[in-house]
Structure formats: C-alpha cells, structure tokens
C-alpha cells in the first residue's frame, strides 16, 4: 500500500522552514529534448504555483537560438502576469541585452550563471571565468539600481566533467566574486551530481569563513549518483534554507552527458514533510502536475516519489 504522506517526525536541529526554488520550467525544460508549447508551459507554472511553490523560475532570456526550448520567453512571461506578488518568477539573464528584454516585461528577479571551472565557463558561455564575471558586473549593477533581486548560479561547485574534482578554494573565489558584484543570493550547483555530504558541509563552512553567510546560500543538487537528498540533508544541518529542485526531476545538463537530472521536487518535499519542515507545498497537487506534464513530454517522471504516489495497481 502506498501512503500519500510520510509520518512527520521533526528534529530541533533543523530549520523549521525551507524555501524551495522550483527550477522545472527553466532548468528542467531547457534540458528536455521535447520543445513544449508556450500554453503548456504557462499552465505548468500556474499549476506549480497552485501546488504552493512561491519561487518558480520561469524562463531564460538568453539568445533564442542558443536555447530553442526557451525561445518563447517574450510570449510566455506575459501569460504569468495574473500570478500576483506572492509568487516570485525569476528569469535567467546572461547579459545587458537579456536584462533589457526581461525588465521590458516587468521581471523583478533575475539570475546570472557563472561557473567555478574554466572548462564549463568556456563550454557554457565561451568565456573565461573572469571574463564572464566582467560580463555580469554591469548587469548586476543595473539590476540592483532598479531594486531587482539577483541570484547568482555557480555551476560545477564539486566536480567538473573535464577537470574532475574542483578545489574548494577555487569555488570560494568565484562565489565571493559573485557576492562582491552584488548578488543577493548564490545557488551552489552540483552540476554533474558527484557531491557527497561531507564535501557539501566543508564547502559551506569555507564559504562562511570567507564571509559568505549561510542565509545567502542555496543548494542545487543533481541526483546522478543518488546523493541529492543526502547532500540536501547535510546542507539543512548546516542551516541552509533555500533548496533548488525540479518538479518531477525534469532536466539534466546538456554539457555533462552523465548528469541524469535535477533533484525532483517531490522527492525533496517527501523528505521535508517527514522532517516536519514547512514548505507550503501540497505534495499531491505537485505530483499530479508532474504526471500531467510527463504525459505531454511522452515519458514518465524519473522521480521515485512521483512514481510511488502515482502507481496504480
């Protein structure tokens, strides 16, 4: 028999509340083969908001020919205007042109995306790490002048497919540089899913020691080696309260073939519900949304929780 919710057994050592930064509509769909119609994306985002997610990354204002899956940002964003201020809709912005496009549509939260390694900076942005930081500097400055919230994504914080393990001091250097540019928060990405819990806690401690506070840090884990929830738990123990996840486990990473995907939001919510940690998310509604989208993508969700909850005898 499948149960709809875990038994909640709270722990006093963990944060009482976690904000889930839902990335399915952007990071997820960007890395799916199928191109989803704009109306389906709009309905997906509305359903995520209805399920209780309050931060739903919506799309990306990179060059449309770079990411054809998200080339409809101009059409999509206005369809989300009825969601109201309680649902934050961050969008990815690579440069000044992207910022212009996003702000013209009224975006109030943006994200820039840097890499902790030279190889991925080259593959993803065709720039060195420092060149990409220089590209983001005026974007972040202008956004902040307009009181737009800025998230900095930092990819390859634990391992890189070309370079192997990434030295912690190298990650800390780029993280600090992003904070110095004026980012409000950082999302530490385990882009190929190789992190383990002790590594996570050591990186978080080193960042704290170098002046980056825990409340400015979110974590973005991939489940390639089955470590995403263990790593999330380690981050919670450290005091992190912002966790990225993708509904139904959508997406992966096109530059790291082994990356089988983002931590599924349902798997995360199951664990957080069991720990008595408040997220505001209705697991049943969220699962129904992922099942609905999987039907449109033509493949089942890789999330264990979605499979368990939607299993029919």
Binding site for Mg ion (CB under 5 A): 27, 262
Give the active site residue among 253, 259, 283, 294: 253
Indicate if 253 belongs to the active site: yes
Q: Least separation, in Å, of the C-beta of 5 and Mg ion?
A: 26
Q: Least separation, in Å, of the C-beta of 262 and Mg ion?
A: 4
Q: Tell me whether residue 242 or residue 262 sits nearer to Mg ion (CB atom).
A: 262
Q: Tell me whether residue 103 or residue 252 sits nearer to Mg ion (CB atom).
A: 252
Q: Least separation, in Å, of the C-beta of 276 and Mg ion?
A: 27
Sheet holding 91-92, edge to edge: 55-56, 19-22, 242-245, 217-220, 185-189, 149-155, 109-115, 91-92, 59-60
Q: Tell me whether residue 39 or residue 258 sits nearer to Mg ion (CB atom).
A: 258
Q: Tell me whether residue 88 or residue 264 sits nearer to Mg ion (CB atom).
A: 264
- Cβ within 8 Å of residue 223, ≥6 positions away: 193, 229, 249, 260, 261, 262, 263, 264, 267
Note the Cα 254 to chain centre separation in Å: 15
Q: Least separation, in Å, of the C-beta of 146 and Mg ion?
A: 27
Q: Tell me whether residue 227 or residue 262 sits nearer to Mg ion (CB atom).
A: 262
Query: How many whole angstroms separate alpha carbon 188 and alpha carbon 200?
Result: 10
Q: Least separation, in Å, of the C-beta of 24 and Mg ion?
A: 10
Q: Which residues are catalytic?
A: 253
């Amino acid at each position: 028999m499948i149960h709809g919710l875990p038994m909640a057994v709270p722990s006093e050592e963990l944060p009482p509340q976690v904000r889930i930064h839902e990335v399915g509509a952007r990071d997820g769909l960007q890395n799916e083969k199928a191109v989803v119609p704009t109306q389906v994306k709009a309905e997906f985002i509305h359903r995520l908001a209805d399920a209780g997610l309050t931060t739903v990354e919506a799309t990306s204002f990179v060059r449309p020919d770079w990411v054809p899956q998200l080339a409809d940002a101009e059409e999509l964003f206005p369809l989300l205007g009825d969601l109201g201020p309680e649902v934050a809709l961050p969008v990815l912005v690579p440069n000044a042109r992207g910022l212009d496009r996003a702000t013209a549509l009224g975006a109030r939260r943006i994200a820039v995306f840097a890499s902790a390694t030279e190889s991925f900076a080259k593959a993803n942005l065709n720039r060195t790490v420092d060149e990409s930081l220089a590209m983001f500097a005026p974007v972040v400055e202008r956004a902040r002048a307009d009181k737009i919230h800025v998230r900095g994504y930092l990819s390859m914080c634990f391992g890189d497919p070309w370079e192997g393990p990434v030295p912690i001091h190298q990650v800390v250097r780029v993280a600090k540089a992003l904070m110095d540019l004026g980012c409000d928060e950082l999302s530490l990405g385990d882009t190929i899913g190789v992190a383990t819990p002790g590594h996570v806690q050591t990186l978080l401690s080193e960042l704290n020691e170098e002046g980056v506070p825990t409340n400015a840090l979110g974590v973005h884990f991939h489940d390639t080696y089955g470590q995403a929830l263990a790593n999330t738990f380690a981050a919670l123990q450290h005091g992190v309260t912002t966790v990225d996840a993708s509904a139904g486990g959508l997406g992966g990473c096109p530059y790291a073939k082994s990356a089988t995907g983002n931590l599924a939001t349902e798997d995360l919510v199951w664990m957080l519900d069991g720990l008595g940690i408040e997220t505001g998310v209705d697991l049943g509604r969220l699962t129904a949304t992922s099942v609905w989208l999987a039907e449109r993508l033509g493949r089942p969700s890789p999330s264990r929780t979605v499979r368990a909850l939607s299993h029919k005898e």
